[in-house]
A and B are shown apart, each in its own frame.
Chain A
Amino acid sequence: MGQRVLLIEDEPNIIEAIRFILSRDGWTVHTHSDGQTAQDRVRGLLPDLVILDVMLPGRSGFDILRDLRADHATKDLPVLMLTARGQAKDRELAEKLGASHFMTKPFSNAEVLEHVRLLARN
């Protein structure tokens, strides 16, 4: 079984596309679509990497990231943030909260794959 990635995203067709390209690359992809329960899912699964969307139903990805970094079990977990807003202040906030990398939608598949591989290796 390959390394596990948890994709927290609420757009079904984005989930399907990312799941496909990561699975094809050998990853075991788990998905979750609700912001409110996302932290519990991360703690329960403890994946090798999390891909986290910012705008989620129930709770912001920034809030989830803040709690993950405050939790001893997940504070060092690699987190790749995805957002539709590419403003500098969002990027700065993501860095401040401890995101491992920050990507703006729409992104290329190659770019996602490259950073997932890079973060998991580190």
Chain B
Amino acid sequence: MQTQATLTGARIRERRRLAGLKQADLAKIVGISPSYLNLIEHDRRRIGGKLLNDLARALGMDLLALSTGAEISVIAALQSIAQVHPETAANPAEATALADRFPEWAALMLKQQNTITTLQDRLTALSDRMSHDPNLASALHEVISVVTAIRSTTSILVEGPELEPDWQRRFHRNLFDDSLRLTDGARALVGYLDVPDATTNSTLSPLETVEAYFATHDYHFPDMEHPAPKSPSQSPSPTDEKAPPLAAPFLAIYRADAARIPATELAKVARQFDYDPAMIAAEFGTDLAQTLRRLASLRQDAGHPAMGLVLADAAGAITILRPIPGFSPPRTAPTCPLWPVFQAFSQPGLPIRAQVRLPGHQGLQLLCYAIAHPRTAPQFDAPPLLQAIMLMRADPPAHATPRDVAQSCRMCPHTACAARREPSALPPVKPHSIGVL
């Protein structure tokens, strides 16, 4: 089986052809012989360093994209699209080749799929609103009632025998009154159904707007780190004006976390304990959830491992505060219940550590730390409102036997999984550690 790395030659060949270059042309540009380029393009010579860099520049490609191929998240998203329309016979196994050979077309497909998903969500929301909104039902009832009165009255005036002058005046007066009511009713209805402000990003749901905001910042806000910058112009603002309103509670938590676990000390202690949340929490005297959130703020470009952070509620709703390749639950269907973040709800307060393995993705594994905790103070005669948090670390050190998880049942090849809700669209594989939690 070809890996991402061994497909480098194929990507070079594909991009050269797209650019309309002959092997001799490209070889001349980068200063090698055509025969050597031929070997590279057929993956018979592994390359790197300056030559790879020169080839990427000559082909107008990003170095990382040329050497490692498409991102895992892009491939996973393309596979998801193939599952949505099984009647097209698009083979999910070919998603990697598609993303590698035609990255721009893959990006276009994903953009269109995002648009479709967003429109479907909006359609569902509008449909719910039309069906169940009492205000809309009331506004429509008002309009129909007035129209009914106008129709009956005009019918009397036009279709029947000549009316007495007093009756005529009475009905004309009624028509005038009804016309005013109809004007008000129609205006109210139009206002109610008016399209959103074009300046707002209407393609995202409120939750997706929050996630996009945090993804843009990579869950890292230097202005909120502790200690506060001395310059007044750099002082942490209580609110970020560009932040979506729903992000405010998350930002307040971030600020409090940063004050409790300062960034400089965190970086040092995290390295000292190899990013073990329990040991770091003990060092700072903080709770585990707070420690997981702080670890997620560590930046990869500062030499820390890639981290992902998600929240879940007891209904299974997910909020991604820091995305990580490998965790991309579907928006319109339930995700895999075997993720540790859901296991945490079985025993609130109990820390869970589990290494998970994703299907496909060249055996991608994530080390997950999760814990469920109450969101509110305990109250008598009221159920606790629980939230689970999960930190995911990429490139984990060797740990226990990984647990197989997936993004959804449709995208999971483990047909014998006890947690399966619906059939898989992928070819089956032998079961590993699949089972109920």
A-to-B contact residues, CB < 8 Å: 11, 13-14, 16-18, 20-21, 24, 55, 84, 105-110
Indicate with 1 or 0, residue by residue over B100-144, a CB within 8 angstroms of chain A CB atoms. 000000000000000000000000000000000000000011001
Beyond A13-B177, A108-B151, whether A84 also contacts B145 by CB under 8 A is yes
A17/B145 in contact, CB under 8 A: no
Q: How far is the CB of A43 from chain B (nearest CB, A)?
A: 27
A106/B147 in contact, CB under 8 A: yes
Q: How far is the CB of A7 from chain B (nearest CB, A)?
A: 12
Q: How far is the CB of A6 from chain B (nearest CB, A)?
A: 18
**Which chain A positions have C-beta within 8 A of B144?**
84, 105-106
Q: How far is the CB of B239 from chain A (nearest CB, A)?
A: 45
- Bound: A94/B148 CA distance, A: 20
B167/A20 in contact, CB under 8 A: yes
**Which chain B positions have C-beta within 8 A of A21?**
152, 156, 160
B152/A14 in contact, CB under 8 A: yes
Q: How far is the CB of B188 from chain A (nearest CB, A)?
A: 16
**Which chain B positions have C-beta within 8 A of A24?**
160
> Which residue of chain A lies nearest to B152 when distances are taken between CB atoms in the complex?
A17
B159/A109 in contact, CB under 8 A: yes
A109/B148 in contact, CB under 8 A: no
Q: How far is the CB of A18 from chain B (nearest CB, A)?
A: 7
A17/B141 in contact, CB under 8 A: no
Which 6 pairs show the lowest CB-CB distances between chains A and B?
A17-B152, A13-B149, A106-B148, A84-B144, A105-B148, A106-B151
Task: Say whether B200 faces chain A, with CB atoms less than 8 Å apart.
Answer: no
The answer, among A55, A107, A109, for a CB contact under 8 Å with B156, is A109
- Bound: A16/B153 CA distance, A: 9
- Bound: A110/B140 CA distance, A: 24
The answer, among A11, A16, A110, for a CB contact under 8 Å with B145, is A11
The answer, among A17, A84, A105, A110, for a CB contact under 8 Å with B153, is A17
- Bound: A11/B144 CA distance, A: 11
The 26 listed contacts between A and B (C-beta, < 8 Å) are A11-B149, A14-B145, A14-B152, A17-B149, A17-B152, A17-B153, A17-B156, A17-B171, A17-B174, A18-B152, A20-B156, A20-B167, A21-B152, A21-B156, A21-B160, A24-B160, A84-B144, A105-B144, A105-B148, A107-B151, A107-B152, A108-B151, A108-B155, A109-B152, A109-B156, A110-B155
- Bound: A40/B155 CA distance, A: 33
Q: How far is the CB of A20 from chain B (nearest CB, A)?
A: 6
- Bound: A107/B150 CA distance, A: 11
A11/B155 in contact, CB under 8 A: no
- Bound: A107/B147 CA distance, A: 10
Task: Say whether B178 faces chain A, with CB atoms less than 8 Å apart.
Answer: yes
B141/A13 in contact, CB under 8 A: no
Q: How far is the CB of A113 from chain B (nearest CB, A)?
A: 11
> Which residue of chain B lies nearest to A105 when distances are taken between CB atoms in the complex?
B148
Chain B residues numbered 172-206 whose CB sits less than 8 Å from any CB in chain A = 174, 177-178
- Bound: A46/B275 CA distance, A: 83
Q: How far is the CB of A61 from chain B (nearest CB, A)?
A: 13
> Which residue of chain B lies nearest to A112 when distances are taken between CB atoms in the complex?
B152
**Which chain B positions have C-beta within 8 A of A11?**
145-146, 148-149
> Which residue of chain A lies nearest to B157 when distances are taken between CB atoms in the complex?
A17
- Bound: A110/B151 CA distance, A: 11
Q: How far is the CB of A93 from chain B (nearest CB, A)?
A: 16
- Bound: A105/B148 CA distance, A: 6
> Which residue of chain A lies nearest to B173 when distances are taken between CB atoms in the complex?
A13
- Bound: A76/B159 CA distance, A: 34
B159/A84 in contact, CB under 8 A: no
- Bound: A104/B215 CA distance, A: 52
- Bound: A24/B152 CA distance, A: 14
A13/B153 in contact, CB under 8 A: yes
> Which residue of chain B lies nearest to A86 when distances are taken between CB atoms in the complex?
B144
**Which chain A positions have C-beta within 8 A of B149?**
11, 13-14, 17
- Bound: A48/B223 CA distance, A: 79
- Bound: A24/B161 CA distance, A: 10
Q: How far is the CB of B150 from chain A (nearest CB, A)?
A: 8
The answer, among B148, B155, B170, B177, for a CB contact under 8 Å with A14, is B148
- Bound: A41/B160 CA distance, A: 31
**Which chain A positions have C-beta within 8 A of B155?**
17, 108-110
**Which chain A positions have C-beta within 8 A of B153?**
13, 16-17
> Which residue of chain B lies nearest to A16 when distances are taken between CB atoms in the complex?
B174
Q: How far is the CB of A42 from chain B (nearest CB, A)?
A: 22
Q: How far is the CB of A21 from chain B (nearest CB, A)?
A: 6
- Bound: A21/B167 CA distance, A: 12
> Which residue of chain B lies nearest to A55 when distances are taken between CB atoms in the complex?
B141
**Which chain A positions have C-beta within 8 A of B147?**
105-106
**Which chain B positions have C-beta within 8 A of A108?**
151, 155
